[in-house]
Amino acid sequence: MSWGISPRRLALVALPSFFLFLFVLLPLLMVLYSGLTTDGKLSFEAFYQVFSSKYYREVMLFTFVQAFASVLITLALGLPGAFILSNYEFRWKGQIMALSTIPFVLPSVLVVLGFVIFFGNSGVLNDLLRDITGGGGVPIRILYSWKAIILAHAFYNIPLVFRYVSSIWGHIDEGLLEAARNMGASRLRVFKDIELPFLSQAILSSSLLIFIYCFTSFAIVLALGGPRYATMEVTIYTVTNFYGSFEVAAALSLLQIVFLLGIVFAYMKVDVKRIEGRLRQLRSLSSMSSTHKALTAVYSLVVSVLLLGPMASIVHASVKAGGLSDYTLDWFREVLDVGGRSFIGATPLESIANSLIIATLAMMISVIFGIVLSYGHSSVSGLRKLLGAMVMIPLCVSTITLALGYLIVGNAFSIDILLMAIVLIHAVISFPFSFRAVSNSVSKVDRALVEAAQNMGASRMRAFLSIELPLIKGGIMAAAVFSFAISLGELAAAYMLYGGRYTTIPIYIYRYIGGYRFGPAAALGVILMAVSAISFLLIERAGSKLQF
């Protein structure tokens, strides 16, 4: 071996690499081939069609604009919260921090459901405002507009700013701040000259991550944007499923990949350094001036309404019978009825079974390859940067583009790969998180313990089962739960590939929303929300930190 790598170590690297090549790069190569050929010959006709069309140009422009606007609104709403969390001590701070994380880990279809129920023309917020003002009409019109898209993206990503920025803000050396204040610097001057330079990298890093999430957003744009507002992600789905134009869809997918590669590369180049210094002395909220207290109260109210309103509305709608004081469990009985009637080619209970089966299979694939690559990554130091970049590949590709690749593969070879494609895509998108969770645990294992066991005659497998597995089980559990939760809530690829046969919980909720059946949609939503909450509670119990 030219690199001096043993066959065992080479296998630890080769197997996950082959997994990514076969199930990520190969479908992408099929998309590339479809976008660059016409009747088997090299052609740029699809790209010409995209760039010559005013509609497609507007779609690309709107994709960038809405992502950029979403970042700005998210920062505007998230940075004040990060400041409060990192500078003040108050009761229930830990619980509030944990509660604020929930929107980020919610499946996107639940964000859609919550926004429709809470912000809809006949939603909770407008009903409440009509009761307060005693007027008719619709006080606030948000849904089916760019405002709904940006607000939903902010709802989704504010927790990221809270955690990402406050973790840095709270570790800025108190000694530096005290010295500046003793020299007569104002609060604004201290922030501009000392705090902001430390925070700039964290703000930039979180902004790029938010941009990526918003750039590839599917369910939120599809459901809340209405027919006027479509992004590249939604257009790829529409062009493929309604017009069967694989060439145009492939061209849009390739352009999207190029854009994403640039953004992900910029994200990877940002170096957010952990700050080691004397922790600041947190102040009590009572030490605020009256003006700051008033502003904090208004801010807390606005963010609480935005973050808690949609989630609480789902729970309320799941047990709402008619009036605000009438409650029922009929919606849960409907979705859990063994003999329930089919709404979209399957019963709700069948969709739950499908989701559990798909999520279990995806979890097993993701975790197994995550474990294998974690050991390969730890044993081949010369290839660590290359392997790290390779693991990031799934984050550079949207699930809709991957689904398009699998459809092209299936059509090219005339085989039905829909169910397998859904499982594999779910495994692929959770693979980077599985790898990170497991590799963090593997890196903490003392290799001397393993070597001592082997010197005493234990086989490599015996050493792994007896010594390493108990030490890394927390990381494995976190990877398993996270992969399971991601698969359970994923809509985009499943919606593009299910073919009316493999209906999942998110698809059922989305179709319920389209049929204005909010009661059963909310009941399914509560079940999905409960599974997501339990999943991330298990991750915390396993001793792993949630990595965004």
Residue-wise DSSP of 130-180: HHHHT--S-S---SSSHHHHHHHHHHHHHHHHHHHHHHHHTTS-HHHHHHH
- Checking if the pLDDT of 539 tops 70, the result is no
**85 close to 93: Cβ distance less than 8 angstroms:** yes
The whole-number average pLDDT for the span 321-330 is: 75
pLDDT at 426 over 90: yes
Nearest CA to 491 out of 398, 364, 353, 391 is that of 398
The domain over range 62-295 is classified in CATH as 1.10.3720.10: yes
State the SS3 of 234-295: HHHHHHHHHHCCHHHHHHHHHHHHHHHHHHHHHHHHCCCCCCCCCCCCCEEHHHCCHHHHHH
* C-beta of residue 266 within 8 angstroms of C-beta of residue 72: no
Mean of the pLDDT values across residues 99-114? 84
Say if residue 410's pLDDT is above 70: yes
Q: What percent of the chain has pLDDT over 70?
A: 91
- pLDDT exceeds cutoff 70 at 69: yes
Report pLDDT for 322: 66
**16 Cβ neighbours under 8 A, 6+ residues apart:** 369, 370, 372, 373, 376
How many residues are listed for the chain in this entry?
548
Q: How far apart are CA 496 and CA 59, in angstroms?
A: 19
37 bridge partner residues: 42
pLDDT value at residue 548: 44
Under DSSP, is residue 34 helix (H, G, I), strand (E, B) or coil? Answer: helix
pLDDT in tens, 462-471: 877 888 888 8
Higher-pLDDT residue of 324, 116: 116
Bridge partners of residue 327, in order along the sequence: 320
Cα–Cα distance measured from residue 78 to residue 140, given in angstroms and rounded to the nearest whole number:
23
pLDDT of residue 5: 59
Burial 399-414 (b: 16+ CB within 10 A, else e): bbbbbbbbbbbbeeee
DSSP secondary structure string, 183-207? TT--HHHHIIIIIHHHHHHHHHHHH
* pLDDT exceeds 50 at position 3: no
Q: Tell me what pLDDT residue 546 has.
A: 47
* Best mean pLDDT range from 6-10, 180-184, 241-245: 241-245
373: pLDDT strictly greater than 90? no
Residue 88's beta-bridge partner residues? 283
Three-state DSSP class for 373?
Answer: helix
CB 339 within 8 A of CB 410: no
Q: Yes or no: say if 335 and 349 are a contact pair by the CB < 8 Å rule.
A: yes
> Lowest-confidence range among 24-33, 176-185, 360-369?
176-185
Note the pLDDT of residue 40.
76
State the pLDDT confidence band at 406, using cuts at 50, 70 and 90.
very high
Residue 297: strand, helix, or coil: helix
> Exposed, middle or buried by CB within 10 Å (0-12, 13-18, 19+), for 459?
exposed
- pLDDT band of residue 236 (cuts 50, 70, 90) is very high
Confidence of residue 196 (pLDDT cuts 50, 70, 90): confident
Q: What is the mean pLDDT of residues 396-412?
A: 89
Share the mean pLDDT of the chain: 84
Say what the pLDDT of residue 53 is. Answer: 94
1-30+319-548 domain in CATH 1.10.3720.10? yes
**Which residues in the chain are classed under CATH 1.10.3720.10?**
1-30+319-548, 62-295
Beta strands 88-89 and 283-284: pairing type?
parallel
Q: pLDDT tier at 134 (50, 70, 90 boundaries)?
A: confident
Quick check: helix, strand or coil at residue 37?
Answer: strand
pLDDT over 90 for what percent of the chain? Answer: 33
For 382-397, how does the pLDDT look when each residue is reduced to its tens digit (9 = 90+)?
666 777 777 878 877 8
Least confident of 198-212, 267-281, 513-527: 267-281
| pLDDT interval class at 523 (50, 70, 90) | very high
The three-state secondary structure class of 456 is coil
Averaged pLDDT for residues 493-519: 90
